[in-house]
Chains A and B, each alone.
Chain A
Amino acid sequence: MNLVIAVIKPFKLEEVKEALRSVGIQGMTVVEARGFGRQRGHTEVYRGAEYSIDFVPKVRIEILCEAGQVQQIVDAILKTARTGKIGDGKIYVVPAEQVYRIRTGEAGRDAI
């Protein structure tokens, strides 16, 4: 099992969600996140008032899946979350040692 974590631009969330649904993904966790990479923060100014954006708003999605599904998920995200501009985000795939469904106590692939 794997955990696919993607950090994407907020406005791409709907599109990515739809794409993932169409490859059969049943559930995901979505978090409003902030950070910076090559796309640094900046400062917005209005008539002397400053709003400093040190961390750029992003959306972080987490999808738990079987190893066989990883490539499909990654491809769907790569395709839909891309704008070609700086700050499109990143995808990490990490192994998930074990998964449990809290309500039933099911484990492993039954719990995905």
Chain B
Amino acid sequence: MPSDAPHRDPIETLAAERERLRESHLDGSSGLEQVRALTAAVDAAVSALWSDIAGDRRGVALVALGGYGRGELSPHSDLDLMVLHTGVKGAADEARALFYRLWDAGFEVGHAVRSPAECLRLARENFEAETSFLDARRLSGDETLYQEFAAASVGFSRKRGAKFVAAARAAMEARHAKDGNASCLLEPDLKEGAGGLRDLHTTVWLDRLFETGSATEETGAASMLYRIRNHLHYEAARRQDVLLLHLQQPTAEALGWRAEEQWSVWDAFMRDVYRTTRAVEQRLARTLVELSGPRRRRSRAPVESASHASVRSLREAAEESFGDPWTPAMREAFFSLLRLADSDALRESDDAGALAAYLPEWDRVRNRPQHNVYHRFTVDIHAYETAAHLARLDARADEPLAARAAADVRDRDLLLLAGLLHDIGKGSDGDHSEVGAISAAGIASRAGFDRARTETVRWLVRNHLLLVDAATRRDISDEDLVVELAAQVGDPERLRMLYALSVADGLGTGATAWTSWKSTLVAELFSRMMHVLERGEVASSDARELFRLRTAELRRALSDRHPEDAIETHMHGMSRAYVLAFSTNDLIRHFALMAEPLATGDIRTHVAASGQPGLSDLTLVAADRPGLFSIVSGALALNGINVVSAQIHTRSDGAALEVFRVRPSMDSSIDENRWQRLFDDVRAALRGELGLERMISEKRAAYARRPAKTRPRDPVVVVANDASDFYTVIEVHALDRLGVLYAITRVLAEAGLDIHLAKVATYGEEVVDSFYVRQAAGEKLEAPDLIAALERSILGAVAVE
């Protein structure tokens, strides 16, 4: 056991030296200078300790392995030490004494005591050990023994040849797969990640063993990666190799990065990190291909990889043109690449510089980091992922609706281009969707898209967050919202594209962003909007625009008679579907009827000839109450007026607007007296002074029923919940007779259902009436027992006695 050394303790000397080096790091010493100086300081301490413990003798050598052996220690790197011996007695005890000293001093020490033969056996079993021997360096002890071991290690690996290359590739792939593809991850691992130091060292080993000549390019990259890594170690006061989000900005500032136009300090720093790691990654990939290439050719015919072929055709096409607009050959090369559905091919094409002629705008997003917890990739990689997901979305089983929507999109190239460009506005000042829409439209038009297609690309990029934002932040069970969004999209093809883009964008962001939770909400919104569009319930223009336009027209027409805020309140109290369903003239007429507050029992009416002969349009306004529609229907029947169709809209303050298209059942027209009698009857019924039920059955009895020409079919009631997203649709087939509409709607009112829309059609002796209804709280009628009871009641009401 060693006594306390008379000279200054080596550990203390080391600690002082490390403090000094920390200063020089902050003063700007390069990454490689630092790691070499740190190594020298540790060497001095370890050698001093070792000579105290063991002294120099034959048959024992102290050897540094791995990063320490290479002379590249970061402030808190592990020390990989090995005592190499030829069976000398006491070597293990000496080794243990050294390792304890180092542990006590706070080092993480990888330790081993081995003979050269044991080393070789280990190298055969373990690739990591094999490569750590390639970096071995003698610190102290038997020089001859060490030289034999070093020569044997290098000779062993070199002789393994292709097997070593394959092992290096497998290790690289395992490393990259472990934490995703780090050279574009937002929190790159500088050591183990793709393009990190381990990749860089692999390139160096391969060069040393097989003289690939690729190591010379690595000095600059190594110096930069080490400088950042050293800083992380110093700041964290421990081994910290992952460049975490919250460390990026302070590191960039401490290491002297500066902001540039369109690039903040943070973004510029990360861009430079990605540039470096991507270059390291590419050099390793290229080296591996070169080393394994000829061998592969022997076993089977050379296969040109997808990305190589793409790069070649992109280049050839671009060479023969001036870039603006694209030639047909450029278009073909570019869209063929997109259709491959291969994000690596896109990335490799860009890495090879083949996309620059097509998308000079790409500089803005290449290697640009994103500062939120959802994203895992830089903007450009995320764009490749999105485009690739889009191209194969139609085959995705876990997104059945999106798969179908993507398969139905007719203009696939347009969709793929919008997918690639959707985030191209990132990094600019202002809303990235707005800025990106302008750039994307410029690119689309350069790509030879006509005006309509260019406009669609612009629209998709500008609105690429519309569905996801609405689905997660707004009430998608609100019909007004869905109608408004549907009108904003305008047509089913555009909605399909937007939906596919939204899903691909989510999938391309990462699993934390696109949960099945979010997927469900977006699918539900898509499906509802699609139903609105497919049923043609909205005009294909911007609903909000139309709403503003209608309000403005109304104000212009009425502001001399009504205060503007009354018009405003009225418009906002009515549903969007209402505003979009009528013309401005209709709206003006309705407002005139609804402007003044309504007393209970009050009705206001308007009658006009419809465009078609024999048909009249009746508008009736009253304070809403249960059964209002039923009462009006009954009064109409009582006065010999048949209903052709009916719409009901209730303002939020409870003023009900009922719009009927009617025709007389006997006469050719309805005279003024008849209308007056009708309105009097409605008023009386609302006051409860008219026995509608009794009067209708009396009237029915008064008209001898004509004998049916054929045996009447039994009435049928169909209650459907899948026909509308917001209403239960009830369809009644029944024999036409006086007051049948009254009879049905009375049952609906008694069941507590609000009627939103009624469509009445007569086919010979049969009527088919449909009602869009919901319960008082706004829900559909879905309980099976309630549906069954309702069906029975309606059947009872329409049955012919």
Residues of A that sit less than 8 Å from B by CB: 9-11, 14, 32-34, 40, 44-51, 53, 57, 83-87
Contacts and interface: CB of A to CB of B under 8 A. Distances in A.
Interface string B500-519: 00000000000000010110
B520 A53 contact: yes
A85 B778 contact: yes
A44 B721 CA distance: 12
A83 B474 CA distance: 12
Contacts of A83: 475
A44 B524 contact: yes
Contacts, number: 62
Contacts of B473: 10-11, 14
A45 B722 contact: yes
B428 interface: no
B526 interface: yes
Give the secondary structure class of B's interface.
helix
19 contacts: A11-B472, A14-B473, A32-B515, A32-B517, A32-B518, A44-B524, A44-B527, A46-B404, A46-B405, A46-B530, A48-B404, A49-B404, A51-B524, A57-B517, A57-B518, A57-B520, A84-B778, A85-B779, A86-B779
Size category of the B interface is: 20 to 34
Interface in B359-403: 400-401, 403
B237 interface: no
A51 B473 CA distance: 21
A101 B523 CA distance: 40
B521 interface: yes
A36 to B, nearest CB: 12
A51 B517 contact: no
Contacts of B476: 11
A15 B300 CA distance: 64
Contact of B523 (A32, A33, A44): A44
A46 to B, nearest CB: 5
B477 interface: yes
A40 B722 CA distance: 14
A87 to B, nearest CB: 8
A96 B138 CA distance: 61
Nearest to B530: A46
Contacts of A44: 401, 523-524, 526-527
Contacts of B782: 40
Contacts of B530: 46
A11 B478 CA distance: 11
Interface of B: 400-401, 403-405, 408, 472-477, 515, 517-518, 520-521, 523-524, 526-527, 530, 722, 777-779, 782
A33 B527 CA distance: 21
A35 B404 CA distance: 26
B527 A9 contact: no
A58 to B, nearest CB: 9
Contacts of A53: 520, 523-524
A10 B521 contact: yes
B533 to A, nearest CB: 11
A109 to B, nearest CB: 30
A10 B472 CA distance: 6
A103 B518 CA distance: 32
A14 B469 CA distance: 13
B335 to A, nearest CB: 26
A10 B518 CA distance: 10
Contacts of A9: 475
A85 B405 CA distance: 30
Give the 10 A-B CB pairs with smallest separation, nearest first. A49-B404, A44-B527, A32-B517, A49-B400, A51-B401, A51-B523, A46-B401, A86-B779, A85-B778, A57-B517
A85 B517 contact: no
Contacts of B521: 10, 57
A40 B403 CA distance: 25
B540 to A, nearest CB: 19
B511 to A, nearest CB: 13
Contact of A11 (B475, B518, B520): B475
Contact of B517 (A34, A45, A49): A34
A104 B777 CA distance: 49
Contacts of B405: 46
Nearest to A32: B517
A83 B472 CA distance: 16
A87 B476 CA distance: 12
B474 A51 contact: no
A41 to B, nearest CB: 10
Given A32-B515, A32-B517, A53-B523, 15 more contacts: A10-B472, A11-B475, A33-B517, A34-B517, A40-B782, A45-B527, A46-B405, A46-B526, A46-B527, A47-B404, A49-B400, A49-B401, A51-B400, A51-B524, A57-B518
Contacts of B517: 32-34, 57
Nearest to A31: B517
A47 B408 contact: yes
Contacts of B722: 45
Contact of B474 (A11, A33, A34, A84): A11
A23 B688 CA distance: 50
Nearest to A83: B475
A46 B530 CA distance: 8
Contact of A84 (B401, B403, B524, B777): B777
Nearest to A47: B404
Contacts of B472: 10-11
A75 B518 CA distance: 28
A57 B515 CA distance: 11
Nearest to A13: B473
A62 to B, nearest CB: 17
A65 B149 CA distance: 67
A86 B401 contact: no
B527 to A, nearest CB: 4
Output the residue of A44, A45, A86 with the most chain B CB within 10 A. Answer: A44
A12 to B, nearest CB: 8
Nearest to B521: A57
B477 A85 contact: yes
A33 B476 CA distance: 17
Given A11-B473, A57-B521, A86 B527 contact: no
A40 B523 CA distance: 17
A44 B405 CA distance: 13
A48 B517 CA distance: 22
Nearest to A50: B400
A30 to B, nearest CB: 12
Nearest to B782: A40
A85 B475 CA distance: 11
Contacts of A50: 400-401
A87 B477 CA distance: 11
A101 B90 CA distance: 51
Contacts of B523: 44, 51, 53
Nearest to A56: B520
Nearest to B405: A46
Contacts of A45: 527, 722
A81 to B, nearest CB: 12
A85 B401 CA distance: 27
A64 to B, nearest CB: 23
A84 B527 CA distance: 24
A83 B477 CA distance: 10
A45 B400 CA distance: 9
A49 B403 contact: yes
Contacts of A84: 777-778
Contacts of B520: 34, 51, 53, 57
A86 B774 CA distance: 12
Contacts of A87: 477
Contacts of A47: 404, 408
Nearest to B400: A49
